[in-house]
Amino acid sequence: MTDTLAWAARPPARRDRRRATLVGAALTLLVVASGCTGANGGSGTSSGPPVTVSVTGPLCDQLPAGDEPGNPGSLAGQPADQALQWIPVLTTFEAAVRATGLADELTGTPGVTILAPTDDAFAAKFSRTNLDELLLHDTDELRGLLRDHVVTGSLPVAELVDAGSVTTLAGTRLAVTGQEQGARVADRADTVCADYQASNARIHVINQVLGSLPTTAGTEDDHDHTAH
Amino acid sequence: MRYRRTTAGVFSSLLAAILAATALPAQAHGQLAGTALQLQAEPNQVQDVTVVQGAGYATLAWTHVDGATDYQIERTPVADDGTATGNSVIVGVWRPNRQINNSEPTFADAGFAPGNRFQWRVRARFGTTAQPYSAPVAGTTNAHWGDPGTPGQNLRTQWENTLGAQYTSDVNEYAYTAAIDELSDRVRVVEIGRTIQNRPINMFVIGYPTPPATPEAVAATNPLLVNCNVHGNEPGDREACFIMARQLAFTDDPATLDRLSKTTMLILPTINGDGRAANSRGNSTGQDLNRDYSLIRQPETQTFVEMIRDYRPIASYDGHEYGNTNTGDLPMLPPRHANVAQGIFDESQHMIEGHMYTQGAKDGWWACPYGCTGANVGLGEETILRNTLGLKNVVNSLLELRSSGGPTRPDEGNTANNRRRKTYSALWTFNQFLAYHGARVGDITAARAEAIKFQSANTGRIVFRGSRPIEAYPAPHPGDTPPPVDAPTPERILEQVPCAYKLTEEQYHGARTDGPAGRQTTVAQRLAAHGWKVVKVADGYLVPMSQPERGLVPLLLDGQAAEGLVAGERVAPTLTGTHNGPLTVSGVACLDGATVRGPVRVQPGATLIVNGGSINGPVDASGAAGFVLTDSTVNGPVNVTGVRGPVVLVGNKVSGPVNVVDSADVAPLIAGNTVNGPLGCTGNGIAPTNLEVANSVSGPKFSQCASL
């Protein structure tokens, strides 16, 4: 299931100008929330007092913070797959989760640790053509890749480092060493913004794609001619 | 401590308190007060800085400093009382290749959250040596467009509501689109098709006070089109389109309403909804749709081409993002394919270089030729929309948004900043596009009319692949590295051009394997989607070259084509010299530059194609299978009665009455003719059209041809 949209939610085919009145709830979400700059930034997904979540790493400065939509505190109560949608450097990883239906494995108990590579990391790893193939066709392969980025148990980065090594859902053992305030994983990926909290999950943004798929970025199909 | 943006006054007060308590030395924030006291200009200090707020951007302008090699633009968030509420950041680097008039430097700062207040300073650099900063200039940036208290204006997209943290999803798009449709009489949202995964492909049809009711009526208003998002992983332009649709739907701006009263704006936000949802470049099958606009193997591109056929925009922009850091803000490129009519190419270039470069220099946006600082991109593939539309006589341009900030916008490591700059630069472009269209509609329609007549005349060579050159724009603007020449190689040139292609039954109606499973279409369906005229003949189907999209015909139907659809049989002219006496046509005849001194009679069931001919005598085509007459002179009446297939009369001079009556199932095309005499059309199964290319008729125009 690669759709973000449930079939039932789609409007029926129509060519007429006038239809039934809008669903009130949908319209309400669209209208600017005047005078409201709450912690959830209009996301409408969390309620109650703001949660303070401290994330660490050099990339955190570049991500939503303070009272901005998508700030770490606003994600704390959300299912992991939804929290991923708020971290703007994870659009590829997040799309991959949807493409592979991995959300089920990310949202259950006892929880998971997600080592989520940035969009830049994906771009450095896979050619655009290869990435499209993974997202659209080779979703089993992609699922395997993602499961090499997920560890059972919701572990703060400090606990990852203390453990020294962890095993992914795909069965790969990853060495973890301390690296400044974060961690270095499998001797190649560094956490660049660690310790996002989601419901039953920790999300650590990393700067390299893990797993064993070959690197295809920079190859023949990744040159300028695929632009525009 | 980490912050970049502040909306709460409480926070700025808190910060002020911290600053006071820690008694920072007069650096950073303290310097702000210091500069305000400077009355005497320091050497090489930038003077006369002004800021003008735009939609999601702020245009800074200043007086050029002699000897400056570049400038740095600094931005600081400030409270109403001028107190800094955050760090000062270099957000922009102005370089001489940014604009065409270096004497009046400008920079469009963008990326900030709309509505916040900032101050800006500018300093020159001589090489790497920074000169003193200018005095600061402060301003409150424009909030998201629309009054929060006014219905319709208060709509916001998911992207706006999340300050760029999330793109607008498909679900949010449908709700937002429906809300605009519901609340604005100016907008009709038309579902023009569905994607493979059954997502609606919606198009905003916008006019004032209301949009014309039918595609045909829209076509009569010289509409313009923005195709916002073909590659699912390049969504910046799409967000601009949603905002622009809201602006057009609910603005009170008299200039905009005036433009909308004279034309129709078509905004197609999401041709590739499946790819957008999947964050993939291609559609759900992985097909790059921008390599499919001529072949139309996919439902999405077929839908698009049918829309072009029916709504007939005269000008267009096609939105993309470009992953080259070392390029302009807004790389653009015209339709370059060598078969594109010269006037369409020229007018597209004028839109880019004559308008966008000039306006960009005023507003601070860096428009430049695709590639811009050198790259092997921007060639002549007719599968790319830019070229396909040019071959359909649409003045148009590619638009790229530079994906990353690059060296000239160093504060875009923050994803939201980056996304906002891209989207608001696209919004600027699309609004400029509307303004350009309004100012140049006469030139655009003239170029289009000439192009339709030129193509229909079937004169000149055919190039299968290859481009017109893009001349270097004078330095310092980076035309010194225009796109590659891409001249056609000899084996890609056809000098002896056929007058038609003939397809067999199997070629025309046979099942095909290209295209998604279960959704494959035949050649017949695709040619119909393009709107081409096809004549049913005894042993197959004849596609005349003499039609408005002539430059595209061989690219799909010739065996020599680079990415052809089917290898049709070239049908050579049957008469090129002079024929004395009556000419009776049976079967298929093609006259290319021929002279006939005598009457011409097309027998029932026969087909006549005449390009660039001269006929002395009456022409009668009663009961013909097809009748095509272009770029010709006829001394005598032309009677076209009961033709079963296409009738094409384009760019002729006829001395005598012209009658087109009782044609069967295909709308006759009667465009750009000069008729000395009456023009009469009755009883045609579908009323004749002129594609908005008027005929000059000295006598009366009757019945179905009254408005042609």
Arithmetic mean of pLDDT over chain A: 83
Given an 8 Å threshold on Cβ–Cβ distance, is A11 in contact with B174?
A: yes
* Nearest Cβ partner for A30 among B169, B175, B413: B175
Chain B neighbors of A33, CB-CB under 8 A:
161
Q: Does position B156 have pLDDT exceeding 60, yes or no?
A: yes
Q: Which residue has the higher pLDDT, B466 or A49?
A: B466
Please answer yes or no on whether B162 and A61 come within 8 Å at the CB atom: no
B369-410: pLDDT as tens digits:
887 887 788 899 999 999 999 999 999 999 999 999 999 999
Q: Give chain B's domains with CATH numbers.
A: 9-140 (2.60.40.10), 148-234+245-313 (3.40.630.10), 497-571 (no CATH), 578-703 (no CATH)
Task: Note whether B329 and B425 are within 8 A (CB).
Answer: yes
- Among the listed residues B634, B563, B185, B224, the one whose alpha carbon sits nearest the alpha carbon of residue B397: B224
Percent of chain B residues topping a pLDDT of 90: 89
Max alpha carbon distance in chain A (Å)? 62
Q: Which residues contact B178 (CB under 8 A, 6 or more apart)?
A: A11, A19, A22, A26, B189
Strand (E) positions, B197-329?
200-206, 224-227, 265-268, 315-322
| CA A170 – CA A208 distance, rounded (Å) | 17
Task: With beta carbons less than 8 A apart as the criterion, state whether B352 and B332 touch.
Answer: yes
pLDDT digits (tens, 9 = 90+) for A150-198: 999 999 999 999 999 999 999 999 999 998 889 999 999 999 999 999 9
Confidence of residue B21 (pLDDT cuts 50, 70, 90): very low
b/e per residue A165-191 (b: at least 16 CB within 10 A)? ebebbbebebebeebeebbbbbeebbb
Q: How many CB pairs under 8 A join A and B?
A: 182
For residue B652, what are the contacts with CB-CB under 8 A and spacing of at least 6?
B629, B630, B631, B632, B633, B634, B673, B674
What is the edge-to-edge ordering of all strands in the sheet holding B578-580? B578-580, B595-597, B614-616, B633-635, B653-655, B674-676, B696-697
Of the candidates A13, A98, A228, the beta carbon closest to that of B322 is on A228
Compute the distance between CA of residue A23 and CA of residue A30 in angstroms, rounded to an integer. 11
Lowest mean pLDDT among A4-8, B318-322, B326-330, B679-683: A4-8
Which residues does chain B have within 8 Å of residue A228's beta carbon, measured at their own beta carbons? 290, 320, 322, 333, 370, 377-378, 384, 386, 398, 400
Quote the minimal CA–CA distance from A213 to chain B in Å.
19
pLDDT at B411 over 80: yes
B225/A77 Cα distance (integer angstroms): 43
Q: How many CA atoms lie within 13 A of B99 on its CB side?
A: 21
Question: Is the CB of A224 less than 8 angstroms away from the CB of B165?
Answer: no
Confidence of residue B616 (pLDDT cuts 50, 70, 90): very high
Side-chain-facing half-sphere of B606: CA atoms under 13 Å: 19
List chain B residues with CB under 8 Å of A25.
none
Q: CA-nearest residue of chain B to A16?
A: B190
pLDDT at B355: 97
User: In angstroms, what separates the C-alpha of B673 from chain A's closest C-alpha?
Assistant: 36
> What letter represents residue B558's amino acid?
D
C-beta atoms surrounding B528 within 10 Å? 16
Q: Which of A29, A32, A66 lies at the smallest CB-CB distance from B144?
A: A32
Reported confidence tier of residue A220, pLDDT bands at 50, 70, 90: low
A226 vs B552, residue with greater confidence: B552
Contact A132 B170 (CB under 8 A): no
| β-sheet bridge partners, residue B367 | B330
Average pLDDT over all residues of chain B:
93
Chain B residues whose CB is inside 8 A of the A225 CB are 376-377, 379
Per-residue pLDDT reduced to its tens digit, B232-289? 999 999 999 999 999 999 999 999 999 999 999 999 999 999 999 999 999 999 999 9
Query: What domains appear along chain A, each with residue ranges and CATH number?
Result: 26-223 (2.30.180.10)
Please indicate whether, in this complex, the C-beta atoms of A65 and B413 are within 8 angstroms of each other. Answer: no
Please answer whether residues B632 and B677 qualify as being in contact, where contact means their C-beta atoms are separated by less than 8 angstroms. Answer: no
Which residues on chain A are in Cβ contact (under 8 Å) with B85? none
B489 touches B110 (CB < 8 A): no
Angle between helices B342-349 and B415-457 (to 10 degrees): 150
Give the three-class secondary structure for B423: helix
Nearest to B240 by CA among B166, B353, B319: B319
Q: Which residues of B touch A34 (CB under 8 A)?
A: 148-149, 154
Q: Of B72, B52, B48, which Cα lies nearest the Cα of B60?
A: B52
Q: Are the CB atoms for A127 and A222 separated by under 8 Å?
A: yes
| Per-residue pLDDT, B159 | 98
Indicate the DSSP class of residue B525. Answer: H
Of all residues in chain B, the percent with pLDDT exceeding 70 is 94
Q: For B416-447, how does the pLDDT look when each residue is reduced to its tens digit (9 = 90+)?
A: 999 999 999 999 999 999 999 999 999 999 99
Q: Using CB atoms within 10 Å of the CB of residue B409, give its burial: 0 to 12 exposed, 13 to 18 middle, 19+ buried.
A: buried
User: How far is it, in rounded angstroms, from Cα B645 to Cα B664?
Assistant: 7
Residue B415 CB: number of other CB atoms within 10 A?
22
Are the beta carbons of A43 and B154 separated by less than 8 Å?
A: no
Min Cα–Cα distance to chain A from B548, Å: 26
A223 neighbourhood in chain B, CB within 8 Å: 376
Beta-sheet pairing, B224-227 with B265-268: parallel
Answer for the pair B592, B576: CB distance below 8 angstroms, yes or no: yes
| Closest to B145 in 3D by CA, of B176, B179, B172, B114 | B114
pLDDT band at B221 (very low <50, low <70, confident <90, very high): very high
For residue B274, give both structure tokens. Answer: 């499946």
Helix (H) or strand (E) holding B427: helix B415-457
